Amino acid sequence: MTDRIAVIGEALVDVVEGGETHAGGSPMNIAVGLARLGHPTTLHARIGADDYGALIRAHLDEAGVSLGPDTLVTGPTSTAIARVDAEGKASYAFDIDWDIPAPDVTGTRLVHTGSIGALREPGAAAALAALGTAAANTLLTLDPNIRPDVIGTKEEVLRRVADLAALCQVVKLSDEDAAWLAPDATLEKALADLAAHGARFVVVTRGSEGCLALVDGAWFARPAQRVVVADTIGAGDAFMSGLLHALLRDGTDGLLTAGEPVPDDAVLAALDTALASAALTVARAGANPPSTAELDQALRASRE
């Protein structure tokens, strides 16, 4: 096994009302976040041979993200029309094509999937198949990042989330994801249901209220850092890349894959790192996750 990470999921261009364009897609943002934090990362996606595709490739090159062998295609690049409200909250309308072969994840330390890439067919089946072939000591992680308009029926999505949670040790939700997946349940019940499928480390983000986690039956709650919000684009993705970075940094991934207990301080360190990563991202425009130096500085400042 190497320290390489594989991320499976969509890469697209966010077209913000007013004309701005940014490379985006939850899995792509997470791949960029992990690469900026020093992890060799390969993205398995679908990027077209057009100007939008060139924009994505330049963004990935700058971050140091490698491309899976089947990522570049001759068709168009997927897009998301982003609308940002007066509070900085983003909503999206998608034009996406998601048809990929199952990536080879042999020898990876971590495989992450999520969002449209994990839930929209036909590519969702490829993502699930790839996770199913990973070695026992590979950390498997999921961020559903629910986009109801483009991922199939609710019954199909619930089944796919359950199938993925049965394979993954780590699952992260937003409070909006939890409300869609289990509208009549509390956040605690939504996390407990995911843990019942097999995930050991489940966490839900709650915006300015921080996060709530259930790890091997123990509950943890952490407050968000106070920042002036520019917008929330990429906030959840930065939380996820920060969380995964901390699990790898501290060797917690090995405990999770081996079925060994995770100390409370390791859980708290992972959650605080994730929240610091998200705070840095919401304080600036667009999906712009931090570098290692920025994140380390923020963590030091939070301890002072």
Asked if pLDDT for residue 276 goes beyond 90, the answer is yes
Q: Which residues of 172-197 are buried (b: 16+ CB within 10 A; e: fewer)?
A: bbbbebbebbbeeeebeebbebbbeb
| pLDDT (tens digit per residue) in 30-75 | 999 999 999 999 999 999 999 999 999 999 999 999 999 999 998 8
Residue 184 banded pLDDT, cuts 50, 70, 90:
very high
Say what the pLDDT of residue 231 is.
78
What is the mean pLDDT of the segment spanning 138-144?
A: 98
From the number of C-beta atoms within 10 Å of its C-beta (0-12, 13-18, 19+), residue 136 rates as exposed
CB 109 within 8 A of CB 139: yes
Residues of the chain with pLDDT > 90: what percent? 80
Q: Strand pairing partners for 84?
A: 90
Mean local confidence (pLDDT), 104-111 = 97
- Res 114: pLDDT: 97
Residue 16 vs residue 223, higher pLDDT: 223
- pLDDT for 232: 76
Confidence category of residue 2, pLDDT binned at 50, 70, 90: low
For residues 288, 293, 298, 302, the Cα torsion angle rounded to the nearest 10 degrees is: 150
Asked whether the predicted pLDDT for residue 1 surpasses 70, the reply is no
Query: Which of 9, 191, 39, 41 has its CA nearest to residue 115?
Result: 9
Q: Which pLDDT tens digit goes with each residue over 156-170?
A: 999 999 999 999 999
Q: Are the C-beta atoms of 257 and 137 separated by less than 8 Å?
A: yes
* All residues at 6 or more sequence positions from 250 whose CB lies less than 8 Å from its CB, including other chains: 266, 269, 270
User: The tokens 């001759």 sit on which residue?
Assistant: 74
Task: Indicate the pTM of the whole model.
Answer: 0.94
Ranking 87-101, 197-211, 271-285, 288-302 by mean pLDDT, the lowest is 87-101
Tell me: pLDDT of 78 over 90. Answer: yes
Rounded Cα distance between 297 and 292, Å, is 8
More confident residue, 23 or 286: 23
Segment 91-104 shows an average pLDDT of: 89
Query: Is the per-residue pLDDT at 130 higher than 70?
Result: yes
**Bridge partners, residue 15, by sequence:** 21, 81
Tokens for 288, please give them: 């712009």
Say what percent of the chain tops pLDDT 70.
Answer: 99
DSSP assignment of 89-145, as one string? Answer: -EEEEEE-----PPP--TT-SEEEEEHHHHHSTTHHHHHHHHHHHS-TTSEEEEE--
Mean pLDDT across the chain: 93
Given a cut of 90, whether residue 225 has pLDDT beyond it is no
Helices (H), the chain: 26-36, 51-63, 115-119, 123-133, 154-167, 175-181, 187-197, 235-249, 252-258, 264-282, 292-303
Looking at 89-98, 143-152, 219-228, which range is the least confident one? 89-98
pLDDT band at 10 (very low <50, low <70, confident <90, very high): very high
